[in-house]
């Protein structure tokens, strides 16, 4: 049984060959994209076990997603194939100014049909950590119920709950997102918000204030991700700003947050103190941005050591 | 105002770089696919004017579809952009045995929201021929109503109606398809079924019997497409089997039916007698299969002349 | 009838897959290139109508150029196909130092055979603006005569003439270029030189002095393009330096001048005051450089609004 | 524990983009190639469990091979990474006449260092069938010893041994190949030779005589693969020629033998009688040739049913 | 000094990625094309020495052509670079019916400026054979004079002259072609016409009659190429039909004639009797068609031996 | 006979389509890589003659390497094909942090079998300069002996010896590298170390001290390469730091050292004084980094003049 269990949707990503409006792009490369499976792959690559719960369409794209994630060593024994709904799909569009865009073809996807009945209480109950994101409850009401049931199981079985808010305003209204994610936060032991998520959820942009409010809700460990600057963590007994690693040339910023979560949680599983776990999160998040793709840059512990040696110089 | 008006959905087609299961294909090329726009492009290339009525998503894919069809000289002044629904999308999968598969991402697409209010009676009413297919009524109830309204306008204004059944069993149940398409047939002046469509609609596979039944319904011109063998036509006063053109190496069979329709209708518009119009349909349908893509192989009249000279030898 | 009419050569561009000497490049992508058609596409994308007059070879490359430009919504009703001369062609070579090179295969191209007889006085006469460039008179003597005839028509019919000098020293001697373009300038209402063109034509590099000299010639609106710095405009009654928009990463500088012209002219057609029209020119020129290709980055008004909001911050 | 266990080398395959001499090919695609892992993937796809034992270099190519095979659901828990030797590599060269060539870079590869100490007797001992090929003993003396030890374990634990001769004359001398493979055959319960292998090993090309000689050695089930003609099987109590399935267009003949073995062994595991198991082998072998690549065309049972229905017509 | 000397134009070939109208093709691959350099490369690959005389533009394409031909071991010491004219260029278009098309951009190319002054009498005079084609005199009047001067040198120095008619009706009128090529034939020792060339030049399609007429002109060795059927040769003392080698799948028929010439001339240089030299020509011509590209399939003597062994079976 | 002779291994390079771990790269491009052949090509491009001595496998990769180098005009008359060993091969892996990696498949390659018997004393003895690198003695003992024999021949015949240390720690132990290369240095007239090589060989990083020690050994000309900073040279009579040329965007740093050596040696052959020869080396080394690939950016003298004019501004 894996040490960490997560659940969520993974889609096929059609990645354009170059930047600019998709109208003029003719070649696309098939990849996969999913915050929770990125996280699970990251954890496995760092030497810990992880399981991913989901639904996929019973089609070639579903088979592809499963092979990829299984090939990375993530436990996929809980994944179900749905014969009546397709695997979700999306396109990225990279622009040189403003934010990149995504075009979703995920409405009524197989994953949006996840339901509480898909959950095996023993599977979740045997893990040390249940990792959830704010994307899943936005997919459908049955997905929202599934997340709530997963939390209930974890609570009953003493499994720690880690929440990555991952707010996607393309999927739901801001008010609804805030309400639902704050409810999840109130049940969580660990939360990993970014600053802009702090602003949406709490109206705060100061890392200390964001952390304080979540601690007040009962969360035990809060890590506010600060991008290039690193991360600020707080627990009921300590707090600190941990500097990040500067990357000369960020090749692809997508996946940094998932990499951070994987590094931080792997650090906790290894028994690292908070500061060390955050440092590992910082390193993995930074390394994820040096390669195109969400998971291609996720490192092994050996690669982390080379990277930190290279970046920290004398610490080597 | 164009001589022929048609309406229907055109989607973005993601075409795999090679045959085999999509699980293992990594590169896809963006193209377009739509029976009615193929037809309209074919008509224009043969030197006649055509207009295409549709809805597209107000996104990069919609802009791409519009540019392509407009670039071919089809009148697109009646196309509307829908801000609340995406442009439809599909993937082809080519297998070396059995039929090729398609994976649709077109549910709730912009085109599925076409409604009778989208139709301009003067636009349709100024045409000589309204060309419709059996795909459109399968997309949604409002699409079905739109087709019925287009037929009503054509009837009122004395525009001939040409129906290409184009039965797509992935989109609806066979019984429902039969019922709706037979209703459309009963209102049509021209119908262009294939043999397998004759079987679904009428339980007949004999071209003569298929034609007889449609004539009995009141259709004035029936052309039964026979693939490589050519086509059989029948009117209340004449009937004949017109031999087809053999292609040494069929590169891509998709689009042959649309090419036939374009050639046949262009022939009628040029005032050809039935046999000559069917011959032009045969030539255009055959030429369409010599190039990958639905419209790339659609010929000009000059190219038809070269082809027929090449194939008919001494007839030249 | 379109509001703006332009005329000139558009060629097929063979674009190398990477930078470096063409000797070692094996893959090339077919695109199109032509300053005047870039301009016309830019105007249409901003919501105004434009027509493009030219000659193309009656070959596959000519058909391609026509489809592309027509697909963008530019009126191509005045384009003629020439059965005895090919469509022009050129290769780009990108080097990391010094200027990029072009290799032309355009001698005796179809477009070089444009003649005054190709011009329809009513077509030009119905427009508000005639846009010409200094490339066309360099192509051949008959092209030079065609430009002169177009100017004569515009003068007779009260159509404003806008000249983009676009000096190409690969096509003619500097002295000859100066003499011809200065004659065109003397007939123009609007002129859009760059600083280096000011130097070639007038021996001046100071924007104010360049503008003053053209005003003295009788030009009513002079806009001196200053690259990243923006543009300086002058009329008999006002003048101002309008700051440009800085692009973090210029992906492809080609097409910036055509984009500026499209934005500025579209602004005038919308009735903007000079400063606002120049600002629109600056924005469109800057946005054109963010995407590979001459026209792929040309924006709609909505996209301009997003870009300016993003760049101007508080102005949003 | 998997029902079938196999062991052998899997290499990275660099596949040229087109046929012809590699001197002129500039693009290559990375894939994997290995008879035993092909077999294991085929068995899993047909719904049975399989495990693959091997050594890989501790490099990016080794990680790639592992991910691919693990992603297909094969148990890879027994695979070891070797820090002192690279993953093997080979290039294919397709010619239109004569045989295709391979260029090996596999000397002293990680897999060639497999040794008896790599084998876990309980792992092999828990399987129903041990599948071996004649490639492994050709790689090195320690590989030869490893195969002998695997056979000894299987014998002790009552695991049936299936041998696919897979003679590769690029790897060893014909006389040495014959001697070693005949020794393996003498210990095997099942053998799956082709006709040309029968000739090398026994000097016989008649399927009946080939089978008779292996039965005389003590083999219980002999299946002689006959290519398009199908396969001939013989046991001490029955024998029959089972017709094959004709493929209109063989896209890639490589992998047909591995597909046959996978289908036949999966059939035995499902409890099929010999004739049905051979039929399943014929179908899987034929289907494998319809797609480029060794494993891309290996079918699920559902796909086999569609294929057989399609091919057998009225039998459906 | 090389045994065979040839002269002619070699152009850069832009080869489309797939068949069909170039309008829809977006990717092109740079290669080279030139009948005489194909011939020279073929001769060198068969183990004899050859030199190629030409002019190239002093541009990246000229450098590319030179490197390619020099890399194959052809002597290029007589090639001149022309600073005032570009290297010629052409595009191929492959259609599935009728003939493929070429689009030339070679007017006023560097090679069209070859002149008698480019010829070094000692270089030509030291060879055993001068090989010329009917393409060169069609390029320009100075090219025609150059060919005549080369023939004059060869005559003076006792060098045998071999003429491959290579009639290109895109380059000149049929009557002019006939007149000029018949003049060249009257000066030649060896001629290698195809049947359709026999028809254009002599009004004959019967190989025996074609040969008889050329013999009557004073030609010593006539070989009429018959495509798949092989070739018919005649000298004043013998004649014979030599059967060709059938290729299962002709991948690219272009280059077969140049391959035949290379094989036949290499055979003569090796001192083969006529029949054997023609057989070698047949083999090389056939092998050239098994690979895409004009020279990629030209074989070494070892490869010829493998091919003939494979094709001739028992003769092996 | 060439002015400069060099010897060493050239391998086929498989270059990944993008940066990141090779596990996730699927497309590779075939190129060549070899320090000594890069050097020889650079010398030829600058207008001097060069010869390259080596062994290649008698396979398609060997033929490719030979064609490429011969095509660039390097004399390859001394290259031998080895029927019993393959052409060496390697893969590059580009990472965004730390150093790029290479994966070698060169053990027991054809070039590793070079032996003293491969050397033609007259060929080496007729040159002005013998250029060697520290890679060759690391390949095998027979390669080490071959280098020693080449030096002995050069000494006997009065040919100057130029050594580029090119220390590759993937090929041998640091101590062994130091010992062997220092022995070669003691026999050399010219040496071209980098600073890090100075540190490995001499324990010094100061250019002046590195030079002093080599001068003390008897070397006549020492040039210490300083990367972007340029180069420091010293002879028994003069020494100077020569500033380098800054490149805005280094596209590919590999090949800069070989380019420097080619420029410097070509300068000496042209009779330049030391400072000018070093300047030419600096320019060629800088230009080599502006294009992807080792040799694609190596310039002609004309291109050097353009580059220096561009960089040196007023000097132009």
* D79: Cβ contacts below 8 Å, ≥ 6 apart: D52, D53, D54, D55, D56, D66
CA dist., res. C170 & res. F233, Å (int): 42
Question: Which amino acids of D are annotated catalytic?
Answer: 258
Residue C315, in any domain of the structure? no
- Nearest CB among A248, A249, A297 relative to F20 is that of A297
Which residues of F fall within a CB distance of 8 Å from A307? 97-98
Most C CBs within 10 A among A19, A23, A101, hence the mutation to make, goes to: A19
Residue B63 lies in a domain: yes
pLDDT in tens, B194-203: 999 999 999 9
B92 forms bridges with which residues in the sheet? B102
pLDDT tens track for C204-263: 999 999 999 999 999 999 999 999 899 999 999 999 999 999 887 777 788 899 999 999
With beta carbons less than 8 A apart as the criterion, state whether E285 and E243 touch: no
Query: Collapsing DSSP states into helix, strand and coil, what is residue C178?
Result: helix
Q: Does E98 contact B306 at a Cβ distance shorter than 8 Å?
A: yes
Write out chain D residues lying below 8 Å of A65, CB-based.
none
How close is the nearest chain B Cα to the Cα of A225, in Å? Answer: 33
Total domains in the fold of chain B: 1
The residue whose two tokens read 């059989």 is: B232
The mean pLDDT value for E287-292 works out to: 89
- The partner residue sitting opposite F19, judged by closest CB among A287, A291, A307, is A291
Predicted confidence (pLDDT) at residue E97 exceeds the cutoff of 80: no
Whether residue E315 lies inside any domain: the answer is no
How much is the pLDDT for B224?
98
Q: Assign F98 a pLDDT band (cuts: 50, 70, 90).
A: low
B29/A30 CB distance under 8 A? no
Q: Which chains touch B (3 or more CB pairs under 8 A)?
A: A, C, D, E
pLDDT of residue B131: 98
Among candidates F251, F306, F311 on the partner chain, residue whose Cβ is nearest the Cβ of C96: F251
**What's residue B313's pLDDT?**
56
H or E segment to which residue F153 belongs: helix F141-157
| Contact check, Cβ <8 Å, A310/F98 | yes
Residues of chain D with Cβ-Cβ distance to E307 below 8 Å are 97-98
CATH at residue A247: 3.40.1190.20
* Segment F107-133 mean pLDDT: 97
Which residues of chain E are within 8 Å of residue B283 when distances are taken between CB atoms? none
Which of D58, D62, D105, D296 to mutate to test binding with chain F, by most F CBs within 10 Å of its CB? D105
Q: Do the Cβ atoms of E19 and B311 come within 8 Å?
A: no
Q: What is the mean pLDDT of residues D5-17?
A: 97
Q: What tens digit of pLDDT does each residue of E213-256 get?
A: 999 999 999 999 999 899 999 999 999 999 999 887 777 788 89
* F134 domain residue, yes or no: yes
**Residue D313 pLDDT greater than 60, yes or no:** no
Q: How far is C250 from chain F (nearest CA, A)?
A: 14
Q: Chain-wide mean pLDDT for chain B?
A: 94
pLDDT of A316 higher than 50: no
Q: What percent of chain A has pLDDT over 90?
A: 87
**Count of CB atoms situated within 10 Å of the CB of A133:** 29
The pLDDT tens digits of the residues spanning B4-14 come to: 999 999 999 99
Residue A315 — very low, low, confident or very high, per pLDDT cuts 50/70/90? Answer: very low
- What residues in chain F have their Cβ under 8 A from chain C's Cβ atoms? 247-249, 251, 287, 290-293, 296-297, 306-307, 310-311
Q: Partners for E (CB, 8 Å, 3+ pairs)?
A: B, C, D, F
Tens-digit pLDDT profile for residues F252-302: 788 899 999 999 999 999 999 999 999 999 999 999 998 888 899 999 999
Task: Kindly list the residues from chain F whose CB atom is less than 8 angstroms away from the CB atom of residue E70.
Answer: 70-71, 73
**Is the model's pLDDT at A98 over the cut of 90?**
no
Residues whose CB is less than 8 angstroms from the CB of residue C267 and which lie 6 or more positions away in sequence, other chains included = C276, C277, C278, C279, C280, C281
Looking at residue F99, its pLDDT comes to 63
**Cα(A281)–Cα(B263) distance, integer angstroms:** 64
- Cβ contacts of residue B304 below 8 Å, gap of 6+? B46, B263, B280, B283, B284, B287
Domain for residue B244, yes or no? Answer: yes
- Flag if C247 and A97 touch (Cβ within 8 Å): yes
- Evaluate whether F33 touches F294 at the Cβ level (below 8 Å): yes
pLDDT of residue B314: 38
Backbone angles phi and psi of E195, in degrees to 5:
-65, -45
Give the domain range for residue F105.
4-307
State residue C251's pLDDT score.
76
pTM of the model: 0.94
Q: How many other β-carbons are positioned within 10 Å of the β-carbon of residue B81?
A: 14
Which residues in chain F are contacts of E72 at CB distance < 8 A? Answer: 67, 71
Q: With an 8 Å Cβ cutoff, are A30 and B28 in contact? A: yes
Contact D70 A70 (CB under 8 A): yes
Annotated catalytic sites of A, by residue?
A: 258
pLDDT, one tens digit per residue, over F217-266 is 999 999 999 998 999 999 999 999 999 998 877 777 888 999 999 999 99
Average pLDDT over residues C172-178: 96
CB contact under 8 A, C98 and F297: no
F146-165 pLDDT, tens digit per residue, is 999 999 999 999 999 999 99
Q: Is F59 a catalytic residue?
A: no
Three-state DSSP class for residue F18:
coil
Statement: residue C171 has pLDDT above 70: yes
Q: Per the residue annotation, which of C75, C82, C164, C258 is the catalytic one?
A: C258
Query: Residue D44: what pLDDT?
Result: 98
Tell me the chain E residues in contact with residue D23 when contact means C-beta distances shorter than 8 Å.
296
Give pLDDT, residue D130. Answer: 98
ipTM confidence score = 0.93
Radius of gyration of chain E (CA): 18
Kindly identify which residue of chain F lies nearest to residue D108, measuring between CA atoms: F107
**How many angstroms separate the CA of residue E311 from the nearest CA in chain D?**
9
Asked if residue B92 belongs to a domain, the reply is yes
Q: What are phi and psi of E244, to 5 degrees?
A: -90, 180
CB C105 within 8 A of CB C89: yes
Residue C312 falls within a domain, yes or no? Answer: no
Strand partners, D29: D15, F27
- Gap from B140 CA to chain A (nearest CA, Å): 17
pLDDT 10s digits, A108-136: 999 999 999 999 999 999 999 999 999 99
**Helical H segments across chain E, by residue range:** 35-45, 60-71, 121-125, 136-139, 141-157, 174-186, 195-202, 207-217, 256-269, 274-288, 301-312
Q: Please report the pLDDT score of residue E316 as a whole number.
A: 32
pLDDT at D98: 60
pLDDT in the model for residue B98: 60
Residues of chain F found within 8 Å of residue E67, distances taken between Cβ atoms: 71-72
Q: Can you tell me the distance from the alpha carbon of E171 to that of F28, in angstroms, rounded to the nearest whole number?
A: 41
* pLDDT tens sequence across F57-69: 999 999 999 999 9
For C99, the closest chain F residue by CA position comes to F310
Q: Which chains touch D (3 or more CB pairs under 8 A)?
A: A, B, E, F
What pLDDT digit, counting tens, does each position of C54-98 carry?
999 999 999 999 999 999 999 999 999 999 999 999 999 988 766
Question: Does E13 map to a domain?
Answer: yes
pLDDT tens readout for residues A244-303: 998 877 777 888 999 999 999 999 999 999 999 999 999 999 999 988 888 999 999 999
Active site residue: F82, F164, F258, F294, which one?
Answer: F258
Q: Is B50 helix (H, G, I), strand (E, B) or coil?
A: strand
Closest CA–CA distance from residue F172 to any residue of chain A (Å): 22
Residue with tokens 């079998």: F113
Which tokens sit at E301?
């003597």
């Amino acid at each position: 049984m894996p040490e960490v269990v997560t659940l969520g949707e993974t889609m096929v990503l059609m990645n354009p060959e170059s930047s600019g409006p998709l109208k003029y792009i003719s070649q696309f490369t098939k990849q996969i994209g999913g915050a929770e499976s990125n996280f699970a792959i990251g954890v496995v690559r760092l030497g810990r076990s992880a399981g991913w719960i989901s639904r996929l369409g019973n089609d070639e794209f579903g088979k592809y997603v499963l092979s990829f994630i299984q090939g990375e060593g993530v436990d996929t024994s809980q994944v179900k194939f749905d014969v009546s709904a397709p695997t979700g799909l999306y396109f990225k569009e990279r622009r040189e100014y403003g934010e990149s865009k995504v075009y979703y073809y995920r409405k009524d996807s197989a994953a949006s049909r996840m339901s509480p009945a898909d959950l095996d209480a023993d599977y979740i109950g045997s893990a040390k950590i249940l990792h959830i994101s704010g994307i899943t409850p936005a997919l459908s009401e049955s997905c929202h119920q599934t997340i709530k049931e997963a939390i209930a199981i974890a609570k009953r079985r003493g499994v720690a709950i880690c929440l990555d808010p991952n707010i996607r305003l393309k999927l739901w209204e801001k008010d609804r997102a805030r309400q639902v994610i704050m409810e999840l936060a109130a049940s969580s032991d660990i939360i990993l918000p970014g600053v802009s998520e702090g602003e949406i959820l709490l109206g705060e942009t100061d890392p200390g204030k964001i952390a304080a409010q979540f601690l007040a809700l009962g969360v035990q460990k809060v890590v506010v991700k600060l991008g290039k600057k690193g991360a600020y963590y707080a627990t009921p007994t300590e707090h600190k700003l941990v500097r990040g690693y500067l990357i000369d040339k960020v090749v692809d910023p997508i996946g940094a947050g998932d990499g951070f979560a994987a590094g931080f949680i792997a650090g906790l599983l290894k028994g690292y103190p908070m500061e060390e776990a955050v440092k590992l999160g910082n390193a993995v998040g930074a390394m994820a941005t040096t390669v195109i793709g969400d998971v291609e840059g996720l490192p092994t512990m050996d690669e982390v050591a080379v990277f930190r040696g290279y970046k920290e110089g004398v610490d080597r």
